[in-house]
Structure 1
Amino acid sequence: MRISAPAHPVRFAAATVTALTLAATAACSTSPAKSDAPAASSTAGKTVRVAAAESFWGSIAAQLGGEHAKVTNIISNPDADPHDYEPTAADGRTVADAQYVITNGIGYDAWADKLAAANPAPGRTALEVGDLVGVKEGGNPHQWYAPASVHQVVERITADYKKLDPADAAYFDQQKATFLAGALAPYDQLIDQIRTQYAGTPIGASESIATPLAEGLGLKLLTPEGLLDAVSEGTDPTAADKSAADAQISTKQIKVYLHNSQNDTPDIRAQVEAAKAQGIPVATVTETPDPANASFQDWQIAELRSIADALKQATGK
């Protein structure tokens, strides 16, 4: 199934690129992202400098890196739109200083590629999630909502850390084991629980952010793909797609409605109200972590619990 990339146009003027390139020569000081996983003991002293375009990937990178990674997230504000973010000179300095740059790709953060190109560094390692998971531009960019992709990113970040800092390879292996067995375990357990109990349950959604999540949970997403893409891209859905989605709500063809509260339109708000009026539970998801300081797993676990509660309410299971 074709899923279009989000299409809020990316604005990145040539003058901005030039300014960021010049800014790269300046000294800078940035704050590392806090790691939520307990650090393993280590005697080696290297710290890998990491720039993450978005905080959902940066949170994972910080926890896997522990005391041997200093992660700076470029976007961590829930009110910022990653699609059309305009980097600052400080962002340019962050990337210029980074040994490891993590971006989402798939057309989601094209500004980050331009930022890295404007601030080259010898020997820098780059991770573009889309390339890693085999989703090209034009595919669904919301891969942090795809459980399989999340696990691929965990493996890749650990492998990259070990290449950048071989002396601490055992430390990074231990960090990964701690993260998977501890911090990420409830996330994996909830996904398995929902898939086991509610596989095939028909649901609706406000936009394409729900597609990889529904696939990962084994739920049947009925909302027309055209509407999901249009809302994600900031365009108007067709009358036929809107009518079909409205009918799915009014006739209770869907059991639960997933609503991205950070990408709202009058039509979507009307669907949310219509779903509530029909007694269809509405579960809220967000594009980026909310609150901003939430770890990846705390943010996702809270959403998964909300989805599980909505499914239980709708099905009685």
Structure 2
Amino acid sequence: MKAAPSRPTARRPLWSPALGCTAVLAAAALTACSTSSSSGSTADGKSGSSSSSGSGGGKVIQVVAAENFWGSIASQLGGGHVKVTSIIDNPDADPHDYEPTAADARTVAGAQYTIVNGIGYDAWAGKLLAAGAGSGRTDLNVGDLVGVKAGGNPHRWYSPADVHAVIERITADYKKLDPADSADFDTLKNTFETQTLGSYNRLVSQIRSKYAGTPIGASESIVSPLADGLGLKMLTPYSFLSAVSEGSDPTARDKALIDGQIKGKQIKVYVYNSQNATPDVQQQVKEAKAAGIPVATVTETLTPAGASFQDWQVRELTGLQKALAQATGK
């Protein structure tokens, strides 16, 4: 897999000066009835196609997800009754720094249902949604749904509990938008939760029951919701995790503390985001391996390109489970 370039220490503006807020919002306003695809793809990786076959009541809900991890879930919950376009669908793109295009504005303008992560993670998406406020469109803000306010950890797709909360809400919203196909949406949800996410649910349960309380270290805050959901004990200071996640410089004190945790083998496993391997993170990975501490990886967005949410998460959870088994001998 090709890793994304490391984020710069100072983030680029979320809004492109070349494009300009006015230009994009104007494009959205002028194309309020457009259903054109953006540079993103539908959640099954095929731009302009339905996500999967369904039992056809004839209505197809136009869905736009800011990020493909939510788009993948939305697509599978809607089947042939939805057409899902994910704006962020490239493993090399950084959702924090994404600069929306006029095509993105047209796509959002044609949406009947949108999903954004919120919590400051995709502020650019909020600007696009503002152009169509009052249009009758239904919007889902994941942060609002799970009760995480601005300044909190935005990486909610790594929280198993939050993932299931999103599944419940998407299905409920689909049923309101297309009541005639409510039974299909219930069936799709049941299949997704009990069968499609079967391996994901089992791994979460197995890791929690077997390794709860195991101390781990991590490169950034993306790992924190996962550690919480699995019952693992995060020893890395949150100030370091947040700094790396936000592209700022960690303090010398935090780096020294982490070096001590690694050299003293206070952590059993080190987990890092391979799409954001800053020099500090690379050094910690090197030190962890030298100390005999197993290293596991995660990524911020679906990898490889076109992967489903469940395949991506199961691969990462399996890697983490192996690292924990190696570290603990159980």
Which of the five TM-score ranges fits, normalised by the shorter chain?
over 0.9
Residue equivalent to 1:153: 166
Structure-2 change in CA distance of 1:28 and 1:155 (3 Å):
closer
Residue equivalent to 1:136: 149
- Following superposition, the deviation at residue 19 of structure 1 comes to 4.6
Residue deviations 1:21-80 (CA, integer Å, cap 9, x gap): 355258553363229xx9685241111100000000000000000000000000010110
Amino acid of the residue matched to residue 74 of structure 1? I
Residue equivalent to 2:4: none
Structure-2 change in CA distance of 1:26 and 1:129 (3 Å):
closer
Contact kept, 8 Å, 2:33 with 2:109, in 1: the verdict is no
SS at 1:209 equivalent? helix
Contact kept, 8 Å, 1:24 with 1:119, in 2: the verdict is no
Tell me, yes or no, if structure 1 residue 164 matches structure 2 residue 164. no
Tell me, yes or no, if structure 1 residue 11 matches structure 2 residue 15. yes
Residue equivalent to 2:44: 34
Residue equivalent to 1:267: 280
Contact kept, 8 Å, 1:10 with 1:84, in 2: the verdict is yes
Structure-2 change in CA distance of 1:99 and 1:261 (3 Å):
same
Residue deviations 1:162-215 (CA, integer Å, cap 9, x gap): 000000000000000010111111101100000011010000000000100000
Contact kept, 8 Å, 1:23 with 1:90, in 2: the verdict is no
Instruction: Report the RMSD for the aligned CA atoms in angstroms.
Output: 1.9
- Equivalents in 2 of 1:182, 1:23: separation in Å? 43
- Equivalents in 2 of 1:121, 1:95: separation in Å? 13
Residue equivalent to 1:198: 211
Contact kept, 8 Å, 2:25 with 2:105, in 1: the verdict is no
Q: Which stretches of structure 1, 4 residues or more, deviate above 6 A after TM superposition?
A: none
Paired residue for 2:196, among 183, 186, 189?
183
Residue equivalent to 2:98: 85
Residue equivalent to 1:251: 264
- Following superposition, the deviation at residue 11 of structure 1 comes to 2.2
- Following superposition, the deviation at residue 123 of structure 1 comes to 1.2
Contact kept, 8 Å, 2:24 with 2:102, in 1: the verdict is no
Amino acid of the residue matched to residue 175 of structure 2? K
Structure-2 change in CA distance of 1:287 and 1:123 (3 Å):
same
Q: Which moved more, 1:247-256 or 1:19-28?
A: 19-28
SS at 2:127 equivalent? helix
Structure-2 change in CA distance of 1:72 and 1:168 (3 Å):
same
Residue deviations 1:64-102 (CA, integer Å, cap 9, x gap): 000000000000101101001111111111100000010
Tell me, yes or no, if structure 1 residue 123 matches structure 2 residue 136. yes
- Following superposition, the deviation at residue 143 of structure 1 comes to 0.2
- Equivalents in 1 of 2:56, 2:88: separation in Å? 32
- Equivalents in 1 of 2:228, 2:199: separation in Å? 19
- Following superposition, the deviation at residue 10 of structure 1 comes to 1.9
Contact kept, 8 Å, 1:204 with 1:221, in 2: the verdict is yes
Q: Which moved more, 1:159-168 or 1:109-118?
A: 109-118
What percentage of aligned pairs have identical amino acids?
A: 65
Q: How many corresponding residue pairs?
A: 310
Tell me, yes or no, if structure 1 residue 57 matches structure 2 residue 67. no
Residue equivalent to 2:31: 24
Residue equivalent to 1:280: 293
